[in-house]
């Protein structure tokens, strides 16, 4: 037992086993012990950050991730930047999360997922211009994915440009035939323009997809 308690590698291995069993809090504790036993092993710090994210320990995860990203060898790790953005968003720091994705899209403007996530964050903080720019970029990069159209439709709906919104929601519904969300949003837009029969039809179609 004494050997096990004082062995960083075994502690980390136990943490991995905990993670495999979805015992994320135990994983965090065991990997944290590994980092204390071997503080120079930066790999353990990375594993700790990922375990903290999985355990929804967002404040701890943000601290660990920032420490890692401050190191030169980790400063370009986009996967860790995305994890940090997730932690920041969960903590309610949406502006900080958005800034991370702004930086990511500047560094690599061809990553569709980053544009979609940026657009979602802009939408949440009522930055409609930023959300529409991100949505349009996602549509350009991946015209067969529905998320960009859905986001664009939400912006047009919020701006009370109902016909623009309907066009986007229709395209999203066509591209994601199993998803009821575009049809629900279509129904809301139709209600806003007092087209109640058409709205009811959209809701009925949405129910068929649930």
Q: How many CB atoms lie within 10 A of CB 151?
A: 26
pLDDT at residue 2 in the model: 46
Residue 194: strand, helix, or coil: coil
| pLDDT at position 58 over 70 | yes
pLDDT at residue 163 in the model: 96
- The backbone torsions φ and ψ at residue 19, rounded to the nearest 5 degrees and listed phi first, read -65, -40
Give the residue-averaged pLDDT of 62-80.
Answer: 96
Query: 82: Cβ–Cβ under 8 A, 6 or more apart, which residues?
Result: 100, 104, 114, 117
| pLDDT at position 149 over 50 | yes
Token output for 186? 């279509």
Query: CA 65, 61, 116, 92 torsion: positive or negative?
Result: negative
Report whether 156 contacts 165 (CB < 8 A): yes
d(CA 29, CA 206): 45
Give the residue-averaged pLDDT of 46-69.
Answer: 95
Tell me the pLDDT band of 11, cut-offs 50, 70 and 90.
Answer: confident
First CA to last CA across the chain, in angstroms? Answer: 53
- The backbone torsions φ and ψ at residue 24, rounded to the nearest 5 degrees and listed phi first, read -70, -35
Note the pLDDT tens digit of each residue in 167-185.
Answer: 999 999 999 999 999 999 9
Token output for 108? 């690599």
Tell me the pLDDT band of 5, cut-offs 50, 70 and 90.
Answer: low
pLDDT at residue 69 in the model: 97
As a whole number of angstroms, the longest Cα–Cα distance in the chain is 73
Q: Which pTM does this prediction carry?
A: 0.88
The DSSP call for residue 71 is: S
The DSSP call for residue 77 is: -
Token output for 40? 């120079």
């Amino acid at each position: 037992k004494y050997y096990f308690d004082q062995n960083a590698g075994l502690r980390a291995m136990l943490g991995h086993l905990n993670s495999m069993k979805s015992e994320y809090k135990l994983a965090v504790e065991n990997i944290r012990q590994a980092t204390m036993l071997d503080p120079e092993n930066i790999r353990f710090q990375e594993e700790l950050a990922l375990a903290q994210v999985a355990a929804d320990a967002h404040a701890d995860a943000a601290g660990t991730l920032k420490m890692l990203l401050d190191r030169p060898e980790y400063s370009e790790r986009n996967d860790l930047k995305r994890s940090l953005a997730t932690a920041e968003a969960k903590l309610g720091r949406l502006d900080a999360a958005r800034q991370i994705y702004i930086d990511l899209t500047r560094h690599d403007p061809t990553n569709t997922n980053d544009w979609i996530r940026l657009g979602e964050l802009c939408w949440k903080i009522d930055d409609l211009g930023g959300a529409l720019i991100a949505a349009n970029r996602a549509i350009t990069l991946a015209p067969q994915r529905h998320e960009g159209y859905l986001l664009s439709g939400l912006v047009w709906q919020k701006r009370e440009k109902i016909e623009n919104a309907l066009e986007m929601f229709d395209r999203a519904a066509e591209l994601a035939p199993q998803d009821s969300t575009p049809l629900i949003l279509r129904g809301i837009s139709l209600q806003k323009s007092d087209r109640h029969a058409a709205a009811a039809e959209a809701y009925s179609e949405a129910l068929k997809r649930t």
